[in-house]
Amino acid sequence: MAQRGNYWSNSALAGWIRGTPKPGSATMEGWEEWREQAQSSKPIRYWMAEEGLDHIQNFLWWPVDQLYSIKYYINNRWITRTHALTAHPCDIRPGTWHDVGQRMMPCLFNELVDFVEIEQAGHHVAWDQDARKRYSPPWWARGWFRWRTWRCPEAGLDYLNWAAALKFDEEWVAADDLKYNQPTPQALAAQEIIDLYTWWTQVYRNRPDPYEVSGWTAACEEEREANGGTMNWGKRSAEFKNKSDQAHELLYKIEAQYDQEDDDMLIRLIRVRRSLWT
């Protein structure tokens, strides 16, 4: 079935034909229970609403669907390049060499940034009229002309913050259920995405330079000044050697801490990957 902004099987007409109203929201088990009940009570009317209308819509919309397919192929192939993991130029400058291990982290976290700032932002304004007024996306970022290139961190985070506040209520579970008023799986995933995005865009990018913090840079500058602007590695002073040893010990410790933090955050990103979709 083609991906569309509206489906006739979800229309008011479909509800009238079906004769069994759909729930406003439900768990997967709740939806399955509704399907079984609706199909068993009115099988012909259920088929007409859920499948018959889709067949009619697919037949009448065939030319439009083909245009959509061409448009999205162009978009996916050459614009958003959804077949590839790519790094932003601020992390890996085009034309420079980086080993696979060096490419993994920026590529994966840059994709997370695009997910929040482009995909979630676009999803937010596509389904929320108030959000469209608030963020005023350009014409090429909404409707049929949307090319998934409009970037708005505020809109993406706005949507994720809304999702992170979702809790199990009466529509999901009984009031005496242990899950009642607890965060839903969608809320937990949204909060994790926010945390990872914030770490990459704010914490990671502002971590102090290990060479500066360890004192290695300052020690080298002092040694250059003492030697007329050059580093005389063959005749290092005892004072510089002592400072160098202390700086390197702290430098290695800081770099190890950074590496461990990077590994931990990458693991968290991998674990939340099934929630990175719109």
Q: What is the mean pLDDT of residues 249-256?
A: 97
The predicted pLDDT at position 239 comes to 86
pLDDT at 4 over 80: no
Q: What is the mean pLDDT of residues 77-104?
A: 89
pLDDT band at 81 (very low <50, low <70, confident <90, very high): confident
pLDDT tens-digit readout, 96-108: 999 999 999 999 9
pLDDT at 256 over 90: yes
Query: Residue 67: what residue type?
Result: L
**Hey, which residues does 167 pair with through a beta bridge?**
183
pLDDT at 236 over 80: no
Q: What is the mean pLDDT of residues 40-61?
A: 93
pLDDT band at 91 (very low <50, low <70, confident <90, very high): very high
Q: What is the mean pLDDT of residues 177-206?
A: 96
The predicted pLDDT at position 2 comes to 57
Tell me what percent of the residues of the chain surpass a pLDDT of 90: 62
pLDDT at 234 over 70: no
The predicted pLDDT at position 27 comes to 66
pLDDT at 30 over 80: no
Q: What is the mean pLDDT of residues 111-124?
A: 96
pLDDT at 232 over 80: no
pLDDT at 190 over 70: yes
Q: What is the rounded CA–CA span in Å between residue 212 and residue 75?
A: 44
The predicted pLDDT at position 229 comes to 79
In the chain, where are the structural domains located?
207-266
